[in-house]
Structure 1
Amino acid sequence: MSHNPKFLNLVLLNGDPEYKLRTARAAGFEQVEIWWEDVQSSTHGAIGLAKFAKQQKLGFTNLQVLRDFTGAQDSDRLYKRAELHQFIHIAYKLGCNTIQAPASTREDCLAERIDEDLCWMASEAARYNMRIMYEPMAWCSVDNTLPRAWERLQRIQQPNIGLVIDLFHICALGGDASQLERIPAEKIYAVQLCDVATLPPPEKHTLMDIARHHRLLPGYGILDIECFIDTLKRINYKGPIGIEVFNDVLKSQCSEIVAQQAWQALNRYWP
């Protein structure tokens, strides 16, 4: 039996936040990745969601997603820092200790500020015993691959910043499971599994369209998921592993059935 917490990203399901939490737990998931938008749409707020999740014996893997924080221009920098504090306060109310913050996607990103911004972010999060989960997305303007993101985290040496492993973003630019081998398992904060019918060309709008609308459940596409799983086991990964699938068709279907399909897909690869 695996001791890794198994999670579902709520983006796969339709319905109000409480319904999605209840549905994920009924399918078997121990945790969920919850979105800022889920919290905002709840009539009970973050504290009410935390209470409901506790009743369901359901944890929060992370709070998503703080966009384009690093390298912000002067005109946006104070706003982004205030936004970080909003995320911290919501995560604190949820009882969630991790905030997902992808690398910048902005073309006007000031790359020379990224290290400083990440260190400031880590310092602010540490005041609340929280972690930052840095994500290299395929269409990021800087740090769009796992090796580049890991190189940066090695340089800044912040104990509460780690990586998220998203199979789509690794494979979309030609990466593979070997990229995990040099990363200490404790610096991987979550693993998000998915699949795709075909790998898109490395063009921003195409990548974004497939990533946000057409991902598949693991085992329904062409990705070599077994190789990633074997590597994670070889490096003794003990953190959360789950399903992050953006799919418009699945999202329109019965959430109970889709959640059960997601649970079955996850357990085929990580029983």
Structure 2
Amino acid sequence: MSVPTQNIAVSLTGLTGDFGDRLSVIKAAGFDRIELDAVELSKQGDLRLAESLLLESGLKLSAYKEFKDFTGHKGHVIRYKMQLAQANLKMMAALGCNLLVVTPSARNRTDSDDEIIAQLRALSTLAMLRGIKVGYRPLPWSDHAYDYESAYRLVEQAGNANLGLVVDSFHNLTDLNIDELFTQVPGDKVFLIRLSDFAMSTLYTLEDKIEVDHHQRLFPGEGGHSSDLTTLLRNCQTAGYQGDLVLSANDDRYRFSSLETVIAKASQSRDWVLSKLN
């Protein structure tokens, strides 16, 4: 099985420049889809103009990144987050985006896993009414969804067909054995795979992982973990993964380069990924 070029998206995270210019340059580079960054969208000020630019660009939306710090709260906090989720889902439906990426809180403030499962079930039920899937992305610094096994256990018990996982290669490279991923999670319950690399060979502390996650992600093929990424891509094929692959990079050096230079790197990365799949 090969992944066609149009199934590879680029994330808006880490790209500098005017919102409309970014969309135009991405489109001109031959990409037909993006991962929409919620923070970047909120920075535009005029949300209606940003939505108009997105629709006019013709770019498809692989995912909406991301509804952060969702599971693990209680009381008025989780009620507020559910209200916020409804607003996000309404906007996503208007934009034609059908995958919401959700992350857990770092610290679980609920009394049991049952409450977390109920939160995931409630969110995915709301999303289902709008034809939207929910992709739960575990974080190594969360105390209840810290790897794919723990996150999938919660997803599986929630039991909603439109609730699955988002796989982030960064966490695979730092915390997990890539060969074990699809023995823990069925391929059809992985809704998105985010691909990035980094230069350091090993990250020993949680602080290092958070720093690299936020500021030192490189495009696939540019870092020191090409062999592991190749293994992940081939395991995806074997498992029958059918979703999009998102190229995600936010290294600080990209922020001081021109938009055209960074998108050229993204295009080279796309070619590298395709060479491993075909």
TM-score, shorter chain, exceeding 0.5: yes
Return the letter of the residue paired with 1:230: R
Is 1:89 aligned to residue 90 of structure 2? yes
Q: Write the mapping of 1:1-271 to structure 2, written as runs, cut at 5 A.
A: 2-3=3-4, 5-42=7-44, 44-46=46-48, 48-106=49-107, 108=109, 110-112=111-113, 113-198=115-200, 199-203=202-206, 205-223=207-225, 224-271=228-275
How far is the alpha carbon of 1:254 from its aligned partner?
Answer: 0.6
How far is the alpha carbon of 1:252 from its aligned partner?
Answer: 2.2
Residues 105 and 142, structure 2, Cα contact 8 Å, conserved in 1: yes
Q: Distance in 2 between matches of 1:151 and 1:101?
A: 16
Residues 149 and 185, structure 2, Cα contact 8 Å, conserved in 1: no
Change (3 A) 1:171 1:109: farther
Helix, strand or coil at the partner of 1:62 = strand
Deviations 1:90-111, CA, capped at 9 Å, x for gaps: 2122221111101222353554
With 179-188 and 251-260 compared, the bigger mean Cα shift is at 179-188
How far is the alpha carbon of 1:42 from its aligned partner?
Answer: 2.7
Helix, strand or coil at the partner of 2:67 = coil
Residues 111 and 142, structure 1, Cα contact 8 Å, conserved in 2: no
Residues 72 and 104, structure 2, Cα contact 8 Å, conserved in 1: no
Q: Distance in 2 between matches of 1:108 and 1:238?
A: 35
How far is the alpha carbon of 1:55 from its aligned partner?
Answer: 3.2
Deviations 1:9-46, CA, capped at 9 Å, x for gaps: 10120122222211221222221111222222335525
Q: Distance in 2 between matches of 1:51 and 1:62?
A: 18
Task: Using structure 1 for the length normalisation, give the TM-score.
Answer: 0.91
Deviations 1:112-170, CA, capped at 9 Å, x for gaps: 31101000101111111111110012222211111211222222211111111101112
Q: CA RMSD in A?
A: 1.9
Return the letter of the residue paired with 1:239: G
Return the letter of the residue paired with 1:228: L
With 124-133 and 99-108 compared, the bigger mean Cα shift is at 99-108
Q: Distance in 2 between matches of 1:39 and 1:248?
A: 20
Helix, strand or coil at the partner of 2:139 = coil
Q: Distance in 1 between matches of 2:30 and 2:106?
A: 34
Helix, strand or coil at the partner of 2:34 = strand
Same amino acid, percent of matched pairs: 21
Deviations 1:232-251, CA, capped at 9 Å, x for gaps: 11112221012111211112
Q: Distance in 2 between matches of 1:27 and 1:76?
A: 42
Q: Distance in 2 between matches of 1:126 and 1:159?
A: 9
Q: Distance in 1 between matches of 2:274 and 2:111?
A: 40
Q: Which runs of 5+ in 2 are unaligned?
A: none
Q: Distance in 2 between matches of 1:109 and 1:9?
A: 32
Q: Distance in 1 between matches of 2:270 and 2:149?
A: 26
Task: Using structure 2 for the length normalisation, give the TM-score.
Answer: 0.89
Return the letter of the residue paired with 2:71: T
- Runs of 4+ in structure 1 deviating by more than 4 angstroms, as ranges, are none
